[in-house]
Structure 1
Amino acid sequence: MDRDTEREPRAQRSSQDDDLGGGGTKSAFFNEIDTPDRSSDRLADLTLVSLQATFQRFGHQPSEAMWVGLRAAAETLEDMANGTCLPAVYVSSLDPGVGKTQLLIHFLRELLRSEDHQNVAAMVCVNRKDQIKLIAEEAALDQFAVLTADDEMNGIATAPVDDARVLFTTQQMVEARCEQTGSFAAVTAFHYRGRPRAVRIWDESMLPGKPVTVSLDELRSLPLRIRKAQPEFTDALDDLIKQVELASDGTRVTTSDLQSRFEFPLHIAVRAVSENSSTTGLTGRPSVNVEIVRKLWYLLGRTVTVRKGWGTAILDYRETLPDDLKPVLVLDASARVRTTYALWDKHRGHLVRLPSAQKSYSGLTINVWNRSGGKHAFATDGLTIAEGVARTIQTRPTEEWLVVHHKATDEMDFEKLVRAKLSLHTGEVHFLTWGRHDATNKFAHVSNVILAGTLFLPEFAYEALGRLAAARPSSSGPFEESSSVRLGELHHGVIQALCRAAVRGFTYGNCPRTQAYIIANRWTGLPQSLLNVFPGAHVADWQPVPKALKGQPEQAFDFITARVDEDPAGLVKFREVSDHLGIDPKNFKKIRRRADFVEALRRLTIEELEDEYGTPRGFKNMFHHYFGDDLDD
C-alpha cells in the first residue's frame, strides 16, 4: 500500500489545517464537536454525546484542540468497527487526564448497544493485568471476557472469550501468541465467533517488538550453569565470550548458531539452568537465568552489535507484533515526547499520528535538584537524598505529598528513611515506586509530587530500543540516534510519573497549580528539556541540602556520578572527565587529589581503579566491582 495514501483516513481529515491550541477561538469544526448530533446513529457521534455528558457531570472541560483529538480517536474506532479503516498504527497522544480512557469506555458501551454492529467485536490490550479490573469495573459492561495467564483475573469475566464481544487481555499475551504464529488472525484464542476482532485498542506504549541485550556479565554467568550438561557447547560459548571481550566498541559480530551446531535447543537449555540454579547452590534466581538464556539463544546465529564503555553487551532486537495486527489504535500520552514513535514513523511507516493537543502547564513549577538520582546514588547516599526529600516535605507539612522512588533493597528502604525523618504532625505522604508509576489515578488530587531520581537504562539498551523502532538490525550498519532515544525515554518516565498527581488535571486546557520536585543531573539533558515536555511550566533550582563542592570539582563529580548511575559496571576514564570539563588532563589531576573531591566520591563507593601495574585508569563503582549486579533488580 502506498505510504502517502495511508495518511488520509477519515479521522485525520481537517486535523492539521487549523491551529487549535488550548484556549483559542472556536472554529466551525469545534462547534460540531462541542454539540454532537444527538440524532446521529454514528458510533463516533454517540460516543461523544455520552462522553460530553460525563465530562459535564464531573466539571471536566477539555479545550477545543482536545475535543478534536478525542473525535479523531472516536472516528478511528468507528472506522475499525465499520471495516473501513486503513491498515496502520493510529497513535493518540493526548496528555494524561484529557479523557482517553473515558473515551474508550464510552465507545465500548455504544458498540455493544449498536444494532448495526452486533457481529463486531473489540479487543483491549493493557500493559498490566490489574488495569483490566479497573477498566472493566468502570465500564460496567454487560458482557466481556478476560484472557491472561492469571486464572483469578480471568475469573472476573462475564462470558467465554468466543462469546464476548469485548475481550480484555495483556500486551504481553498478544506479543507471545502472535510471535508464535507470526499472524494476529491466526491466533484463534483472540477470535470472536471464529473471526479476528475488528476493533483493536492498545492502551499505553507500543513497540513493534522487543530490544534484546545480553551483557558481558550475563554471558559469563552461563558457563557455570550449563558446563556439566553441555561441555562442548560451553567451550564454544567461552570462545564467544572472548570474542566479545576483545572486540572494539561498535563492532558487528555474526555469532555462530551454537544451539543447532551442538543440538542444544532453547527448551533444554531453559531446563538446564533452572535445575542447576535450584540444586547446585549457584547464585541468581532461576527466572533471571532463564531470561538470559532466552535472550542469548535468540541472538545466536545472528549479527549483533558489541557495545563497550558504559558496560559491555551484545545487542539486537526481535519482532513480536505481526503486520496484520493493523489497524490498531494506540492510546499513549508519551507518544509526543518519545523518539521511538518518530523513528517508527520515519523508517517503518504505516504510523498515523492523530490530532493531539498540548495543554498548558502554566500552573506547574518544576524544581530540579542537580545531582545523581540513579539506583547507585540511592544505595550509597540514600541518607542525604532522604534528608533532602524530608526537608522539602516539611516546608508544607500540612499538605499531601506523593513521592516516586526506587524500589527497596536489602541495603536501602527509601520510604522508611524518609518517614523516619518526618514529624509526627506531617500530613499524608504517599509513596509509589518506579515501575508502578504509570497506571494509577488515585493520587490525581495531590498537588505536591517528588520524583526521587529517574529510571536509567544502560546506554546499549537505548541503542537496541532505537534499532527496534527504526527497523535497523545490527546487520544494517551503525545506529547514531541512541542519545535521542535515551532522552525520549527519560521524558516518557517523567511525564507518566508527574501525571499520577494533580499535574494530570486541568481547567480550560491549563494544568492546576502544582509543585513538582525532580532529582536529575544536568549532564543527562533532562533538566534543560523539561519545558519541551511541559510547555508553559516554570523550572527552578532546588537545593534542599547544601553542596560541598563548587566549580570544576562539582562539574567533575556530577559527570562521574551520572556515568556510574547509568552504567554501574563501567569505568569512567580520566580523559573522559577532563574532556567533559574542557581542561588539560594535568589540571584534572589536581582536582583528583583534592581531599573533598575524593571524599565526596568515596561516600558513593566510587574510587580510582588501578591496573595490574598499579597505574590508576579511571573511576569505578567499587560496590558493583565487588558485589556485581545486586542493585539492578
Structure 2
Amino acid sequence: MYSNLTQRAFQLLKDRFKEIGHTPSLEQLAALHDIPHTLTLMAEGKLEQKMYLSSLHPGIGKSTAVTTSVQSYIQCREMYREQGVIMCFDRHEEIVRMVKDMNLPRHLFAVKVANHSSNRELNEMGLGSTRINEALVLLTTKQQITRLGQLGQKFSDMSRLYFRDKPRTIRIIDESMTMGVGLKLAVRKLAKVPDELSDTSPGVARVIEEITQELLSCANGDVYYMRDLEEGAKRVLTACKWGSVEARDVANVFLQILGRELTVKATERGHVAIDCDDTLPEDFLPCLVTDASGEVRGTYDLQQKYRKNLVRLKSAAKDYSNLTVHVWRQRSGKSAYQANGNKVYVTEIVKVINSRPNEQFLVLRFLSNPELEADIIEKVTRPERVKFTHYGLHTATNEYKDIPNMIITGIMSYRSEDYEALARAAAGLKTSDGALPPETSNHLRHGEHAHHLLQAGCRTTPRKSKGAGCPEARLWLIAPKGVLSDKEIARIFPQCTVKRWVTTPNALKGPRQVAFEYITEMIRSGMQQVRGADVGRHLGMTKSNFKRDIIENVDFTDTLQDRSISIEKRSNGQYFFCDTSYLRELVESFTKGNQIPISISL
C-alpha cells in the first residue's frame, strides 16, 4: 500500500500530463511512479543509504514527476516535520527553469550559487542566499556539495545548506552524478613548474624536478608513490602567483596527490599520473538521481559493482520508430577536423540542410571549432533556420525541442587516461585499492559515446513524447568505424531506423586514384578480396602512411562504397578490400520479389 503522499504526488503528475496532452504508456507510468514513491520513503526515513537512479529517456516525464512530488510534499509538509529539500543541478539555466516550473511562493525557496557579481540575481531569488536556513526548498549547483566533499567534509557538516539548523532530508540530483572525480597530472606540464619557482623557491623547484624525472622513468601501468612535502613547501605552491592558469591548475592537482600511490600511464602525449578522489559525501545518500543516460553509461555499472550503493528504479522503453538516423562513417574527432579542414564536412552538411529548405536544423559542433558555424551559414539557404550548439551545452535543455532535424558533426571522445581516471572515480577505486580490469576503460568509452549521442540526439524533436514514442524526426551523425555501430545506435534509440548517410566523394587524385584502379582491376579479374599490404606495396607507401592517406581518407572510402567494395580489418590488424556487389544484387532481387534458390548441404 502506497502512502498518502505518494498517491497525492502521482495523481498530481497524471493531472499535469492531462493538461499538456502527454499520454505515456502504462509501463512508463509505472516507472514514473517510482519517483514520488522514492521521495516519499526518503521523507519517511525508510531508504537505505544508497543512490536511487531513474533512467527514463528524455520526454517521458522525469522532471515533471520530481516537480509534482516536491509540490505535493510542500502541501502536506507538516505531516513530515517540515524536513528540508535540496535540489542540485549542473548549470544555472537549469535552476532558473526548475524555479519557473515549480512556481513556488517566494518564502518557500532559496537559490545558492557561487558568490560572483554576475550571479547576484540568481542568489536573490526566493528568500535569497543569506536566508537559506529558512527556505524549505534549496536549489543549488552540484559544485556546492562536491567542492567541499572533495576536501573530506560531510554533508551533515555543511551548515550553510541547512534547513532550520539541520541537514536537508530530501535530496535530488538532476542529470548525471559520479560520486568521485578523476585526478590526472601530465608530467610534461609538471616539468614546467620549476621554471616559475627557481628564483623564489629553488629548493621546492629541485624537489619537483626530481619527482618529474622519477615519473618519466616509470613504465606504463607502474605504481608510483608520490612523496609528501613539508608544510613550508606546500605553502609556497599554494601562495605562488603563477604565470598562467595551466601552471596554477597543475600545482593544485600536484598538491592533491601528495602522499599517495598513483597509476602511471605512458601515452602518446607523454606520461600521466592518475588517481581519484571522492566528491559526493557518503552521508548525502540516500538521494534521487534522474539521468536519462543511466542505462547506457558505464559509470553507474562501476558504482553498482564496486561501491554497491546504487539502486536502479523501474525502467521503461521509449519508442523511437519515428526517428531516422543517417550515419556517415568518417573520422570526425577534433584532430580529424584539424587534419582535414572543415570543407570536406561542410560540403555534405550543407547538402543535407539545403535538401529540406523549409525546415529547421540544429547543428552540434565541438567547442574548439567555432569556425564551422560560419562555414555552414555561408553556404546554406535561409541560414536563419539553422541553430548551433556545442558540446558542454548538449544536455538538459528544452530550447530546441521543436526542431525536427539535427546534425551531430562528431562524437565527443576522451583520451585513454581520462577514461581510466573516470572509471576509478566512479568505482571509488584508488590506486592503493588495486588495478582496474583491462576491459573496464573500453566499456566506459562505449558508454560515454552512447551517453553523448543520447543526450545530443534528444535536444531536438526526439526529446518530445507522442504517446509512448517520439514525433517524426531525423538525425545525421558523423562517426568513424568502431564508434557507435549501427547496432549500438539502435539500442540507444529503440526501434529507430539506421541508414547510411549517402555522401558524394570528391574525385580521387594521386596515390588514392592509383590505389582505387589497382583494387578494382584485381576484383574485375575475379578476386573476391585484395590484401591491403599488396596495395601498399604497389603504391610504395609505408604502413602508417597507407593507413592515414588511403584507408582513413573519406573520399577514398566513399568511392569504394559506391562500387560495393568494403574495407575490413581482420583480427591480425591486416586490411582487406572485399567485393560486396553480390550483397547488393541479393537485396535488389528480394526487393523486386524474385525468388533465389538456396541449396543446403547436409
TM-score normalised over the length of structure 2: 0.81
Residues of 1 paired with 2:507 and 2:183: CA distance? 41
1:195-594 correspondence to structure 2 within 5 Å: 195-257=166-228, 259-260=229-230, 263-265=232-234, 268-272=236-240, 275-277=241-243, 284=244, 286=245, 288-311=246-269, 312-380=271-339, 381-408=341-368, 413-423=371-381, 425=382, 428-479=385-436, 480=438, 481-546=440-505, 590-592=540-542
Cα deviation digits, residues 148-206 of structure 1 (max 9, x gap): 11333211233520001000011011111233353111111111011111100011111
Do 2:278 and 2:428's aligned partners in 1 also have CA atoms closer than 8 Å?
Answer: no
Deviation of 1:220 after TM superposition, in Å, equals 2.6
Mapped contact 1:91–1:335 kept (Cα < 8 A): yes
Provide Cα deviations, 1:199-232, integer angstroms capped at 9, x if missing partner: 0001111111111111233223322223333222
Match of 1:263, SS state, is helix
Is 1:130 the counterpart of 2:90? The answer is no
1:544 shift after superposition: 2.9
Cα gap change, 1:357 to 1:547, in 2 (>3 Å): farther
3-state SS in 1 of match to 2:220: coil
Instruction: Specify the alignment match of 1:147 in structure 2.
Output: 112
Amino acid at match of 2:291: D
**Per-residue Cα deviation, 1:269-319 (whole angstroms, up to 9, x for no partner):** 2431xx241xxxxxx4x2x33222221221222111111234331101011
Q: Say whether the 8 Å CA contact 2:299–2:426 is kept in structure 1.
A: yes
Of 69, 72, 76, the residue aligned with 1:107 is 69
Equivalent position amino acid for 1:191 in 2: Y
Secondary structure of residue in 2 paired with 1:524: coil
- SS of 1:540's equivalent in the other structure is strand
Partners of 1:394 and 1:76 in 2: how far apart?
48
Consecutive unaligned residues in structure 1, runs of 5 or more? 1-9, 12-40, 278-283, 557-580, 605-633
1:417-471: CA deviations, max 9, x gaps? 1101112x35611101110110210111111001111211111010111112222
Q: Structure 2 vs 1, CA of residues 228 and 590 (structure 1 numbering), >3 Å: closer, same or farther? A: same
Q: Distance in 2 between matches of 1:124 and 1:463?
A: 29
Alignment partners' CA distance in 2, 1:42 and 1:56: 21
**TM-score when normalising by structure 1:** 0.77
- Mark the CA change 1:86 to 1:362 in structure 2 (over 3 Å): closer, same or farther: same
Q: Kindly, what percent of the aligned residue pairs are identical?
A: 28
Q: Residues of 1 paired with 2:14 and 2:376: CA distance?
A: 43
Going from structure 1 to structure 2, the CA distance change for 1:270 and 1:547 (only over 3 Å counts) comes to: farther
Q: Secondary structure at the match of 1:421?
A: coil
8 Å contact from structure 1 (residues 47, 110) kept in 2: yes
Instruction: Summarize the Cα distance change of 1:302–1:597 in structure 2 as closer, same or farther, 3 Å threshold.
Output: closer
The number of residue pairs the alignment matches comes to: 524
Instruction: Specify whether residues 598 and 188 from structure 1 end up closer, same or farther in structure 2 by C-alpha distance, changes over 3 A only.
Output: closer
Contact (CA 8 Å) 2:110, 2:138: kept in 1 or not?
yes
| Contact 1:490 1:526 survives alignment (8 Å) | no
Question: Where does structure 2 lack aligned partners over 5 or more consecutive residues?
Answer: 516-530, 555-602
- The answer to whether the 8 A contact 1:522-1:528 is kept is no
Structure-2 separation of matches of 1:505 and 1:216: 46
Q: Which amino acid aligns with 2:113?
A: T
The reply on whether 1:47 has 2:23 as its aligned counterpart is: no
Q: CA deviation at 1:244?
A: 2.5
Distance (Å, rounded) in 1 between the aligned partners of 2:540 and 2:172: 59
CA RMSD in angstroms, aligned pairs only = 2.9
Cα 1:469–1:553 change in 2 (3 A) is farther
**Bigger Rg over Cα:** 2
C-alpha distance in 1, partners of 2:543/2:86?
62
Counterpart amino acid of 2:122? M
Number of the residue aligned with 1:629: none
Deviation for aligned residue 1:242: 2.1
CA distance in structure 1 between the aligned counterparts of 2:536 and 2:473, rounded to whole angstroms: 47
